[in-house]
Amino acid sequence: MLKIHNFIKGTVFILVVGSMAAAIAAEEAVRAPVKANSSATERDERGRYLVKITGCNDCHTPGYAEVGGKIPERDWLTGDSIGWRGPWGTTYASNLRLYMQYLSEDQWVTIAHTAQFRPPMPWYVLHEMTELDLRAIYRFIRNMGPAGNPAPAYLPPEKEPQGPYILFPQTQK
């Protein structure tokens, strides 16, 4: 009986350690940046993954956050008409599906690494992304094709938005 018990313990140990190693390897594969010589499918999957986890859809896909991300991919990244109002004025999440059609991949990488967009766009996050990850995002969005309409244009602070908007609280100095 003791031999069977030790055999089971040993088998369970091997299965647990093996499962943990497989899980860690899978996690590292997902977190690792896409390689320059990756296939188009791998880059597309990496771009899809990055768009999902970096929060692009939260603002650039209407209704995404409200339904917990249960929006069909064909409707992703078409911009939004809900404004974000603060001391900077009112900004709108742009239609990335249209925006990327007018940029080359190299232009996107340069913009993503240098631009300082108005709030609430977290431009500083783009600055930290690797060139290969930015290229994967570009290719994924570009391959989705154009869809939707342009988002409303920026409004300066003195202009009142006509549609719905989210008001940022004024910071105390």
The mean predicted confidence, pLDDT, of the chain is: 83
Within a domain: residue 172?
Answer: no
- Which of these, 94, 85, 75, 92, lies nearest to 144 by C-alpha position? 75
Task: For residue 173, tell me if it sits in a domain.
Answer: no
Q: Both 153 and 82 in a single domain?
A: yes
Residues 116 and 50 in one domain: yes
pLDDT at residue 26 is higher than 90 = no
Starting at the edge strand found earlier in the chain, the sheet holding 165-167 runs: 89-92, 83-86, 165-167
Q: Report yes or no: 127 and 77 within 8 Å, Cβ to Cβ.
A: no
- Return the minimum-mean-pLDDT range out of 12-16, 97-101, 138-142, 169-173: 12-16
pTM, whole model, 2 decimals? 0.75
Amino acid at 123: W
Other beta carbons less than 10 A from residue 131's beta carbon: 15
Q: Where are the beta strands (DSSP E) in 17-172?
A: 83-86, 89-92, 165-167
**114-126 pLDDT tens trace:** 999 999 999 999 9
Cα–Cα distance measured from residue 77 to residue 122, given in angstroms and rounded to the nearest whole number: 16
Its domain, for residue 24, covers: 1-32
Q: Nearest-CA neighbor of 135 among 165, 161, 103?
A: 103
Over residues 35-62, the pLDDT tens digits come to 555 556 776 899 999 999 999 999 999 9
| Same-domain pairing of 47 and 27 | no
The confidence score (pLDDT) of residue 12 equals 35
Tokens representing 30 are 């997902």
State the pLDDT confidence band at 82, using cuts at 50, 70 and 90: very high
| Structural domains in the chain (count) | 2
Average pLDDT over residues 24-43: 51
9 pLDDT more than 60:
no
Mean pLDDT of 65-89: 96
SS3 call for 7:
helix
50 lies in the same domain as 96: yes
| 28 and 50 part of one domain | no
